[in-house]
């Protein structure tokens, strides 16, 4: 089967990029012909290193030129002639859905979602972009139950069109031996850098309190992007007792760290189905997550592989960490539960097989009309970076407002 996958990123970018990378590899190993189309203002990574075919369609700097990327992607799709399309966060591909052959099975994977309130990150705008032209989509994949419920409420579509499919990852298949080292310092990993949405403030508050308490031997490994100065800088974090700040580390080194660590903390205020959670569970880590509307809560509860705390609560995080540090037995049981649940539900075989099955099924209620190309208008790229210079520039202010409220850019007419 010829499968085209749309995305805005690939590794070394995390999140959606890692999801697409894993899916493309799995589909290729399953004897499908895969083409990944990436559209981004800033291309990352060396395309030669990817074990699948990829075409980059750069986002033009000026919106008035953006229709050229749309036209180029249209040519690529027609040349490849896919039997199925799996779109992630490539808004150009979402724009093209009404103009493609009705024979193509279309799948849209939704990667961002927030519950109540505004979005200080990009979750809401990713959510809305993934649902653009949903009438022309056969299957909408939600990566958590709260996301599925939100999609059904927003669109009012049939329950059969929206499928719940957790993300998947490639495990390392090594024996879980974490429970055999009760006397080493308990290794705790936080991967949110200086990101408020990821709960950096919550972890720092808990770490400071722990530094003044007499509890078991532990070390907090702080990874992710750090500030150059201030409380989230490497210089300051390293002054907190038992905290070691690494900043960004490559994926291969991260996997080694996870294999040797015991506890993963993810007190995020918004998440989808994070790849880091899956990778940690595959290596037998015990998980502490927040109760934000995401897949984290339902996975950890179903697996009995850790604790769920209130989003923003450093006290609950502190209590959970102390309980795990001081109980070798609890860590051992939850570690084994994590590996068992991962092997049964969260591998790439589990996720890939479900998506592969959807690639073969057309939805009878989907709009099968093929519109004439080119369109009169389109939605421009929705994750354009802020304009260089002052954040008070008009373009930067508009982009910040759109991201906060989840508003896509206004339709732009094509004048050729």
> Is the torsion defined by CA of 284, 163, 51, 95 positive or negative?
negative
Is residue 30 domain-shared with residue 137, that is, in the same domain? yes
Average confidence (pLDDT) over 164-180: 74
**pLDDT, averaged across the chain:** 90
Neighbours of 200 (CB within 10 A): 23
Q: What are phi and psi of 139, to 5 degrees?
A: -140, 130
Greatest CA separation for the chain: 70
**E-state strands within 229-366:** 243-247, 263-266, 286-290, 306-309
Q: Reduce the DSSP state of residue 111 to 3 states and report it.
A: coil
Is residue 233 domain-shared with residue 201, that is, in the same domain? yes
Q: How many CA atoms lie less than 13 Å away from 299 in the CB half-sphere?
A: 38
Would you say 262 and 178 are in contact if contact means Cβ atoms under 8 Å apart?
yes
State how far the alpha carbon of 238 is from the alpha carbons of 93, 213, 217, 241, in Å: 45, 18, 17, 7
CA distance 146 to 157: 16
- The reply to whether omega before 308 is within 30° of 0 (cis) is no
* Predicted confidence (pLDDT) at residue 386 exceeds the cutoff of 80: no
Is residue 165 domain-shared with residue 197, that is, in the same domain? no
Is residue 144 domain-shared with residue 206, that is, in the same domain? no
pLDDT band at 389 (very low <50, low <70, confident <90, very high): low
Is residue 263 domain-shared with residue 404, that is, in the same domain? no
Is residue 63 domain-shared with residue 189, that is, in the same domain? no
* Predicted confidence (pLDDT) at residue 178 exceeds the cutoff of 70: no
Q: By residue range, what is the domain housing residue 132?
A: 2-169+350-413
- Any idea what the CATH number is for the domain that residue 33 is in? 3.40.50.2000
Average confidence (pLDDT) over 343-349: 95
* Predicted confidence (pLDDT) at residue 378 exceeds the cutoff of 70: yes
pLDDT band at 179 (very low <50, low <70, confident <90, very high): low
Q: Reduce the DSSP state of residue 250 to 3 states and report it.
A: coil
DSSP secondary structure letter of residue 183: T
Name 180's Cβ contacts closer than 8 Å, sequence gap at least 6. none
Is residue 88 domain-shared with residue 59, that is, in the same domain? yes
State how far the alpha carbon of 254 is from the alpha carbons of 73, 78, 215, 222, in Å: 34, 39, 27, 11
pLDDT band at 174 (very low <50, low <70, confident <90, very high): low
Instruction: Choose the final residue of a domain: 329, 346, 363.
Output: 346
CA distance 367 to 376: 19
**Count of structural domains, the chain:** 2
Write down the pTM of the prediction.
0.89
- Lowest mean pLDDT of 31-35, 119-123, 129-133, 307-311, name the range: 119-123
pLDDT band at 43 (very low <50, low <70, confident <90, very high): low
Is residue 94 domain-shared with residue 16, that is, in the same domain? yes
CA distance 379 to 369: 20
Instruction: Choose the final residue of a domain: 331, 346, 361.
Output: 346
Name 235's Cβ contacts closer than 8 Å, sequence gap at least 6. 229
Is residue 163 domain-shared with residue 191, that is, in the same domain? no
Q: How far is CA 98 from the centre of its chain?
A: 26
User: What is the per-residue pLDDT across 93-114, written as a single tens digit (0 to 9) for each?
Assistant: 999 999 999 999 999 999 988 8
Instruction: Choose the final residue of a domain: 346, 366, 393.
Output: 346
Is residue 207 domain-shared with residue 313, that is, in the same domain? yes
User: What is the per-residue pLDDT across 259-278, written as a single tens digit (0 to 9) for each?
Assistant: 999 999 999 998 889 999 99
Output the CA angle 299-305-309, nearest 5 degrees.
75
| DSSP H/E element including 102 | none
* Residue among 157, 126, 119 at smallest CA distance from 140: 157
Is residue 257 domain-shared with residue 298, that is, in the same domain? yes
How many residues are there in the chain?
416
Is residue 70 domain-shared with residue 211, that is, in the same domain? no
């Amino acid at each position: 089967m010829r499968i085209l996958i749309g995305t805005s990123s690939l590794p070394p970018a995390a999140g959606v990029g890692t999801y697409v990378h894993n899916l493309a590899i799995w589909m290729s190993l399953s004897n499908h012909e895969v083409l990944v189309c990436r559209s981004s203002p800033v291309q990352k990574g060396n395309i030669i290193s990817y074990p699948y075919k990829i075409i980059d369609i750069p986002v033009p700097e000026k919106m008035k030129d953006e229709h050229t990327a749309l036209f180029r992607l249209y040519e690529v799709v027609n040349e490849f002639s896919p039997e199925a399309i799996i779109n992630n966060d490539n808004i150009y591909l979402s724009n093209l859905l009404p103009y493609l052959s009705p024979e193509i099975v279309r799948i849209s994977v939704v990667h961002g979602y927030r519950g109540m309130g505004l979005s200080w990150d990009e979750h809401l705008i990713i959510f809305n972009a993934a649902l653009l032209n949903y009438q022309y989509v056969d299957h909408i994949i939600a990566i958590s139950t709260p996301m599925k419920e939100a999609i059904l409420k927003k669109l009012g579509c049939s329950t059969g069109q929206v499928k719940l499919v957790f993300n998947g990852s490639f495990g390392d298949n090594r024996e879980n031996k974490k429970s055999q080292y009760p006397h080493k310092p308990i290794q705790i990993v936080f991967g949110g850098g200086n990101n408020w949405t990821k709960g950096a403030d919550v972890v720092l508050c808990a770490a400071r309190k722990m530094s003044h308490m007499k509890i078991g031997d532990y070390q907090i490994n702080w990874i992710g992007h750090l500030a150059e100065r201030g409380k989230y800088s490497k210089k300051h974090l390293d002054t907190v007792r038992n905290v070691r700040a690494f900043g960004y580390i490559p994926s291969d080194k991260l996997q080694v760290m996870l294999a040797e660590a015991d506890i993963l903390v993810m007190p995020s205020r918004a998440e989808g189905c994070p790849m880091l959670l899956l990778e940690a569970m595959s290596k037998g880590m015990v998980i502490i997550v927040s109760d934000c509307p995401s897949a984290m809560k339902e996975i950890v509860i179903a697996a009995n592989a850790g604790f769920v705390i209130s989003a923003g609560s450093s006290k609950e995080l502190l209590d959970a960490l102390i309980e795990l540090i001081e109980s070798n037995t609890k860590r051992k049981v939850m570690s084994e539960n994590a590996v068992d649940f991962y092997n049964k539900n969260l591998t790439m075989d589990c996720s890939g097989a479900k998506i592969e099955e959807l690639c073969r099924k057309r939805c009878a209620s989907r709009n099968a009309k093929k519109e004439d190309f080119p369109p009169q208008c389109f939605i421009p790229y929705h994750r354009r970076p802020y304009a260089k210079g002052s954040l008070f520039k008009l373009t930067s202010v508009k982009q910040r407002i759109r991201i906060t409220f989840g508003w896509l850019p206004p339709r732009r007419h094509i004048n050729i």
